[in-house]
């Protein structure tokens, strides 16, 4: 099981968010690498299939060596976009499409290989044999190093891993949304030595006003004082304490928040504090 790290999510770097110029992309990549965040999480659909290319231009301008960063990307979701002949949102996991999509991502990111390639969401029509054929082609040609999935259930992981090894599963996980801790997903990853990554690691704690967020904030505030960190860092530390070695994918483009997020790696939450936060999220004591 790999050691946890803070992964930089790039979904909002393009037209779905900050719309960084090539110079800004380059500067952000340099900043992240300098601060120890050298893994960048992409998906072909970000920015309606435009964000990878914008990042690629920034990466080329940055002058950073390819070996000094790790690139993750995903495919499978077909959005309605100007560059695609899609009449509606759907999924495509044919062998030809998977291979073609990876080749497009490599071209856009201006690289020869992906460190990790994920199937973005499960499709009811996916066939494990066809997926395995595509992944074998991509691995043998050196276009991908590691293969994994995203948002897959335990049975779907088993379906795929029976034909091709799965080394990563990126799922939603946070103090607010911790289903993966109860539905067997994290247990499976720990058992099978599959690297867990989690998206939306802060949940809606700072975006929503609900009974759940109110309870969490009431507990977070004094704990943040106790550990001398900000509340968002404490939420990441809560995730990092899980024995499966989860790597949070953070979507912020705020440089101060990225620096703060890294502090979570050195925080060791006391056992009862970890359960205190879980109890606040649940709204009741542990069974």
Query: Do residues 122 and 152 lie in contact, with contact meaning Cβ atoms separated by under 8 Å?
Result: yes
Q: What is the pLDDT of residue 24?
A: 98
Query: Do residues 135 and 164 lie in contact, with contact meaning Cβ atoms separated by under 8 Å?
Result: yes
Does 106 score more than 90 pLDDT? yes
Does 220 score more than 70 pLDDT? yes
Sign of CA dihedral 74, 77, 79, 85: positive
4: left (phi over 0), alpha (psi -120 to 50) or beta: beta
The structure's pTM equals: 0.97
Q: Which whole number is the average pLDDT over 137-144? A: 98
- Active site members: 46
CA-to-CA distance for 183 and 178, rounded, in angstroms?
A: 9
Nearest C-alpha neighbor of 58 from the set 38, 84, 30, 77: 30
- CA dihedral of residues 255, 260, 265, 269 (deg, nearest 10): -160
- pLDDT tens for each residue of 226-255: 999 999 999 999 999 999 999 999 999 999
- pLDDT tens for each residue of 45-87: 999 999 999 999 999 999 999 999 999 999 999 999 999 999 9
Fold for 7-166, please state it. TIM Barrel (3.20.20)
**CA distance from start to end of the chain:** 29
- pLDDT tens for each residue of 169-191: 999 999 999 999 999 999 999 99
One-letter-per-residue 3-state SS of the chain = CCCCCCEEECCCCCCCCCCCCHHHHHHHHHHHHHCCCCEEECCCCHHHHCHHHHHHHHHHHHCCCHHHCEEEEEECEECCCCCCCCCCCEECCCHHHHHHHHHHHHHHHCCCCEEEEEECCCCCCCCHHHHHHHHHHHHHCCCEEEEEEECCCHHHHHHHHCCCCCCEEEEECCCCCCHHHCCCHHHHHHHHCCEEEEECCCCCCCCCCCHHHHHHHHHHHHHHHHHCCCHHHHHHHHHHCCCCCCEEEECCCCHHHHHHHHHHHHCCCCHHHHHHHHHHHHCCCCC
245: left (phi over 0), alpha (psi -120 to 50) or beta: left
Does 116 score more than 90 pLDDT? yes
Q: What is the pLDDT of residue 2?
A: 73
Phi and psi angles of residue 144, each rounded to the nearest 5 degrees, phi first:
-135, 150
Q: What residues does each domain of the chain span?
A: 7-166
Would you place residue 3 in the very low, low, confident or very high pLDDT band (cuts 50, 70, 90)?
Answer: confident
Q: What is the pLDDT of residue 1?
A: 64
């Amino acid at each position: 099981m790999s050691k946890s790290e803070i992964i930089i999510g790039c979904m909002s770097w393009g037209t779905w968010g900050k719309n960084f110029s090539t110079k800004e992309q380059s500067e952000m990549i340099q900043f992240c690498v300098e601060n120890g965040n050298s893994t960048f999480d992409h998906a072909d659909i970000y920015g309606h299939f435009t964000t990878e290319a914008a990042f690629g231009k920034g990466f080329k301008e940055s002058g950073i060596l390819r070996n000094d960063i790790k690139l993750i990307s995903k495919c499978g979701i077909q959005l309605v976009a100007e560059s695609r002949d899609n009449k509606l949102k759907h999924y495509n996991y044919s062998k030809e499409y998977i291979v073609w999509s990876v080749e497009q991502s490599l071209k856009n990111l201006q690289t020869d290989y992906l460190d990790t390639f994920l199937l973005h969401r499960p499709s009811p029509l996916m066939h494990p044999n066809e997926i395995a054929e595509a992944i074998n082609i991509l691995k043998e040609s050196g276009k991908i190093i590691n293969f994994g999935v995203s948002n897959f259930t335990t049975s779907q992981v088993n379906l795929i891993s029976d034909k091709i090894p799965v080394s990563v599963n990126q799922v939603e996980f946070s103090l607010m949304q911790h289903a993966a801790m109860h539905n067997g997903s994290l247990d499976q990853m720990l058992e099978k030595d599959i690297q867990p990554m989690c998206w939306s690691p802060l949940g809606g704690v700072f975006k929503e006003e609900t009974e759940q967020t109110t309870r969490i904030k009431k507990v977070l505030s004094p704990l943040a004082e106790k550990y001398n960190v900000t509340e968002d860092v404490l939420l990441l530390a809560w995730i990092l304490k899980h024995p499966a070695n989860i790597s949070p994918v953070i979507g912020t483009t705020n440089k101060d928040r990225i620096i703060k997020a890294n502090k979570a790696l050195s925080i060791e939450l006391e056992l009862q504090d970890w359960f205190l936060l879980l109890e606040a999220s649940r709204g009741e004591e542990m069974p």
